[in-house]
Each structure stands twice: as C-alpha cells, then as structure tokens.
C-alpha cells in the first residue's frame, strides 16, 4: 500500500511538473520497468505535441535576384524551405561588365547562398542541382546533379512541394541566327565574364606573335559587341577603358590596331533611356573611337567572320577576333516544356497574374526574367465594376458611389493611375467630367455606356515590366511578404474588392516602383535617369553609380571586396593576367 501511495504521489508530481522527468527516470531504474514504460510514453506525447502541425514545403528554384530576394525576406520559421539551383551562390550581375576587364574580381560580386541561409531562422535545405522538369499535376520537380561538365554522369531525384517559386531567370536570345551559339560569348553569368576576360587577353597575345602580318593582327584585335542595350554599351565602355588605360602600356606595338565595334539593329543605342542619354552616349563613343553601327542586323556568325546587313549597304562580312552577343533574353528549356503543359505554349515567358501566381496552376509562383505579369484589362470588367459601384441599382453612378470604390479600383487596375498621370488629371472624376462635357464634378452622374466610353483608352497604359535586376528583386521581396502574412490574411484579407466574385483579394497586387537606372559610359562618366525625369550625365553620375552599387551588395563582405577592387584599380590599374 505504501508503494502504491508513493507511486500515486510521484505520478501526480510528474503530471504537474515536467521538470521532475529526469528524477522519475532515475528512480524508475531502481524500482522496476513499469514506471520506465510510463515515463517513455509520457515523453513521446510531449515530443509529439511540441512538433505542432506540419509546415508547408516551399521549394525555390534559382538563386538569382528574384530567388535570393525571396529567400532573404521570407520568414523561414513558418515553412519548410528548400532551395534548388545549379549554382551555390548569388551573383551581383550589374557588375559583370566590370569583371570582364578586371575592374572587379569575380569572387567580389558573389555571395555563397549558404551564407545567406545561415542567417535565417529554421532549417533551410539547399541542393546544387538543375531542375529539368516541373510536374504541376503531382506537385513535384525533377532535378539532376551533374558531377562535372563533361563527365556524362548525372544523379536524378524528385522533390515534392506545397508551394513552388520559379526564379530560374532566362538565357541569352540568339534569335536562331546561325553560328551565334558556337562562336559568340554571352554575358549572363559569372563564368561568361571570366571567359570574356581570358578571350580579350588571348586576342592581344595572339596579335603580338612575331609571325603574323598586319591584317591578321587587326583581325585578332577587332572586338565586336552585338546589341546596343545597357549590357552591351557598358561592356564596350569597359573594354575601351581597359585598352586605353592599361593594355596600351603593355602592348604598345599593337595598341593602334585595336577596333571596338558596337552593332545595333535599331536606329539608336540605349533606347530604354531618355533620348538625351542616348544621344550623349553615341557622341561619346564617336569621340572615343568606338565604331557604332546602328540599323545593322547580324545574319550569320562563322568562326572567322561576322555577316551583317542593312537597308543602305546590303549584306557584307568582316573578320573579327572576339564577338560578344548581348541582344536580349530567351526562355530556358524547362520553362518552355512547363508552358506547354499548362497551355501557355504560344508565349515567350510564363504568364502570371498580379499576385505573381502562374496562371492556371495551383501553388506555383514565378518571379524575375522567366515570367511577366498579365495585367487584367479594365475594359474586360467594365460591367462588373459598374455593378459593384452602383449600390442603389439605379443604373447610374454618382460622385459618392465612384469615390467609394475608387481606392479599390486604382489598386486593382494600376493602369488607371498611369493613364490619369499621362493626361495630367488628378482623379477619375476629371476623366468622367471630360467625357461628359461641361458638367461640374459634383453633378457628374454617368450610365454604363458613358462609364465605358470614359475608360476606353485606359488600358493603353498597360506595360510589360523590363527584365531587370530591380524588377526581379522587388518581386521576390513582395512575394516573401505575402508568404509571411498568408495565415493572417486568410481571415483578414488586405487586397482590393473582387469585382468578379465576392469579398476581397487576399493580398494587394504587386506594384513595381522604379528607382532609376544607370549607364556607365567609360572614362569615369556615367548617365543616370532617376524618377521625376531627373537626368544626370558626367563624372558626378559615375560617383553616384559607385555609391549605389556598393550599397546594393547583399553583404558587408562583398561590399568591402568591391570597394577594395575599385581602389586597387585606381592605384595599380587593372590586372591583365590571363587566368
């Protein structure tokens, strides 16, 4: 009886105070196996209850701007996060042209992805592998790991997901022009920049050989850049500075034979910038001796010659030593295959809605260069918008009824705000007043046909976002914020009214905010186009470029390395080692 009473007392103490757990186990070892079994069973219950509900699995494909931005801003304690990418680092791609000429070292602009993961809460898994197939029906991705580029041996595996974030970027677009893939360099990855750097030095070393005639030397030192966009222009400027400031001292006998040529199919370079910047860049290139061929398109590239054509000259060929192809982006094969599966086979990139969800898929999101937002048109929803706004079912909208839905209207259809800005109008009421003639704002009352007529041209402001690092980073951050508050917004949605259906959208739609863009033009000069139509060209813009690009590095380690490389270049010049 005493033993039974003692057993009851210990049991109550154990239930009331889990801190006695170790004491009970020790005592059980001396008194028999029954109590040990009780303690084990109790500990299993505690362990099971501590785990809580199973976390949703989020799989991130890619470690570029969009994928890394999503990972850095995601509350990883809420999800089981798994990252898959063929490269185990994030690269600051805007500085790739600087890597090609030794202004910045390759390792200075990369941050190991595991360094970023180490600073996050929860356990994050990373696999250095390539996703070669997405299976939306079974919610899994097929991946393979290649031990070496030419080994021929691969290891394939499957990864299941609850949510899939596709952020694998894009590849260079060759437009199926013969010979481009085999004979041209691209500038999309760190490895591309390193190959270009070695190729530039090889061209100078070959041109310095004693058994070559002058024509052969000129051919080896003819550098062709195809594409007059930001990447092509910046590389041409970097190459010119490298040659004139550093290689001219090391190769004085062949320096005078160097020719840098930029080929652009359009009539001007940097067409995405203000015309003043485009004009300044063209004039500066002419002063620097960079041959600018606008209105020319490349039709074929062989091992020794590049063939181009224009309306005025027709088709002709010229020899070259090195060619860099920088004419836009193309779709990766895995995305092409995925688009065919989901009925988007006729598109160039994945179509997503304004919340970055892949259209026609459950739990799949796409961010960055591999996708574009398919903005819903106002004209498609005119009848539904009118119905929601017309609360008294009178068949007309008053000023108050319009104002009641105005915030949701602008949030759901951002093109309305852009259209009003283009017309220099402060609100939709001015637009409706303009369509009504002489009516005052307060007296505006429109029926559905007048409402439709006033908004007919609003969708002309729907624009595709550019494939830039700035857009990709903002999309990754936005999507991470949505994931962080997904549970809260299920009960308290924060998005605009559903004009088709009832209630509100769970989140606010993605809105891109443009912070400006730079175009380094060489000679310590750059062009900057900032919000508010603010244009700056010259040396001051170059120093602004330095400060912005240093501040945008993802870690203090890379920030200090990049600044150190710039400092070394100012003091010692660029490194010309062929490594």
pLDDT in tens, 292-314: 999 999 999 999 999 999 999 99
d(CA 43, CA 81): 28
pLDDT of residue 419: 87
Residue 162 and residue 89 in one domain = yes
**Overall domain count for the chain:** 4
Q: How far apart are CA 109 and CA 190, in angstroms?
A: 9
Q: What is the pLDDT of residues 385-422, one digit of tens each?
A: 999 999 888 999 888 888 888 889 999 999 988 888 88
Residue 123 sits in the same domain as residue 222: no
Domain of residue 557, CATH code:
3.50.50.100
> Does one domain contain both 62 and 147?
yes
Statement: residue 44 has pLDDT above 50:
no
Task: Classify residue 574 by burial, with Cβ atoms within 10 Å: 0-12, 13-18, 19+.
Answer: buried
Q: Where are the alpha helices (DSSP H) in 75-187?
A: 96-100, 113-118, 180-183
What are the strands of the beta sheet with 364-366, ordered from one edge? 124-128, 80-85, 57-61, 163-166, 364-366
Q: Helix count (H) and strand count (E) of the chain? A: 22, 26
Same domain? 409 vs 342? no
CB contact set of 322 (below 8 Å; sequence gap of 6+) = 185, 196, 199, 200, 203, 222, 223, 224
Say yes or no to pLDDT of 3 above 50: no
pTM: 0.87
Residue 490 lies in a domain: no
State the average pLDDT over residues 546-573.
97
Residue 483 within any structural domain of the chain: no
272 Cβ contact partners less than 8 Å away, ≥ 6 residues apart: 229, 230, 466, 517
Tell whether the torsion through CA atoms of 517, 521, 522 and 526 is positive or negative: negative
- pLDDT confidence band for 225 (50 / 70 / 90): very high
- Range name among 136-150, 153-167, 217-231, 562-576 with the lowest pLDDT average: 136-150
Position 399 in a domain = yes
Q: Do residues 214 and 353 both lie within one domain? A: no
Q: 499 in a domain, yes or no?
A: no
Residue 125 has which token pair? 């898994």
Please check whether residue 489 lies inside any domain of the structure.
no
Looking at the chain, the whole-number percentage of residues with pLDDT higher than 70 is 88
Contacts of 103 (CB under 8 A, 6+ apart): 238, 241, 242, 565, 566, 569, 574
Instruction: State the residue for tokens 């989901």.
Output: 342
The residue segments making up the domain with residue 80 are 57-172+331-371
Q: For residue 578, tell me if it sits in a domain.
A: no
Mean pLDDT of 115-144: 95
Assigned domain for 485 exists: no
Nearest Cα to Cα of residue 135 among 354, 418, 361, 308: 361
């Amino acid at each position: 009886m005493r033993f039974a009473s003692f057993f009851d007392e210990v049991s109550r103490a154990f239930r009331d105070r889990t801190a006695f757990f170790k004491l009970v186990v020790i005592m059980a070892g001396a008194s028999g196996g029954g109590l040990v079994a009780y303690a084990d069973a109790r500990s299993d219950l505690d362990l099971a209850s501590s785990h809580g509900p199973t976390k949703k699995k989020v799989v991130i494909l890619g470690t570029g701007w969009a994928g890394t931005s999503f990972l850095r801003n995601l509350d990883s304690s809420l999800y089981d996060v798994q990252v898959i990418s063929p490269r185990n680092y994030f690269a600051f791609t805007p500085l790739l042209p600087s890597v090609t000429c030794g202004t910045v070292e390759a390792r200075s602009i990369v941050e190991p992805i595991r360094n970023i993961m180490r600073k996050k809460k929860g356990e994050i898994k990373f696999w250095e592998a390539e996703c070669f197939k997405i299976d939306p029906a079974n919610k899994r991705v097929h991946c393979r790991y290649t031990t070496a580029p030419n080994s021929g041996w691969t290891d394939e595996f499957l990864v299941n997901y609850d949510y899939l974030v596709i952020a694998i970027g894009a590849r260079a677009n060759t437009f199926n022009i013969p010979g481009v893939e085999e004979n041209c360099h691209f500038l999309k990855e760190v490895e591309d920049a390193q190959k270009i750097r070695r190729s530039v030095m090889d061209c100078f070393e070959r041109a310095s050989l004693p058994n070559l005639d002058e024509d052969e030397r000129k051919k080896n030192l003819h550098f062709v850049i195809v594409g007059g966009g930001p990447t092509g222009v910046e590389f041409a400027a970097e190459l010119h500075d490298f040659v004139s400031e550093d290689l001219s001292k090391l190769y004085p006998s062949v320096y005078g034979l160097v020719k840098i040529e930029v080929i652009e199919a359009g009539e001007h370079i940097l067409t995405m910038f203000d015309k003043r910047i485009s004009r300044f860049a063209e004039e500066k290139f002419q002063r620097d001796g960079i041959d600018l061929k606008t209105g020319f398109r490349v039709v074929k590239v062989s091992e020794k010659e590049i063939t181009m054509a224009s309306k005025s000259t027709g088709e002709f060929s010229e020899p070259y030593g090195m060619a860099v192809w920088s004419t836009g982006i193309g779709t990766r094969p895995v995305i092409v295959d995925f688009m065919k599966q989901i009925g988007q086979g006729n598109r160039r990139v994945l179509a997503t809605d304004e919340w970055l969800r892949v259209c026609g898929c459950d739990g799949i999101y796409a961010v960055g260069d591999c996708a574009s937002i398919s903005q819903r048109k106002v004209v498609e929803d005119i009848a539904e918008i009118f119905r929601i706004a017309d609360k008294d079912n009178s068949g007309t909208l008053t000023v108050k009824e319009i104002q009641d839905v105005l915030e949701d209207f602008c949030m759901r259809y951002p093109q309305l705000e852009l259209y009003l800005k283009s017309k220099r109008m402060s609100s939709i009421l001015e637009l409706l007043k303009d369509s009504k003639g002489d009516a005052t704002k307060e007296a505006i009352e429109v029926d559905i046909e007048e409402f439709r007529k006033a908004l007919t041209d609003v969708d002309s402001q729907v624009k595709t976002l550019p494939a830039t690092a700035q857009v990709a980073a903002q999309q990754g951050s936005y999507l991470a914020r949505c994931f962080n508050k997904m549970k809260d917004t299920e009960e308290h949605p924060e998005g605009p009214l559903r004009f088709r259906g009832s209630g509100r959208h769970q989140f606010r739609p993605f809105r891109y905010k443009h912070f400006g863009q730079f175009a380094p033009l060489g000679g310590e000069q750059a062009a900057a186009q900032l919000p508010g139509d603010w244009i700056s060209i010259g040396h001051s813009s170059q120093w602004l470029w330095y400060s912005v690009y240093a501040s945008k590095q993802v870690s203090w380690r890379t920030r200090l390395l990049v600044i150190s490389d710039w400092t070394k270049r100012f003091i010692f010049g660029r490194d010309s080692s062929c490594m």
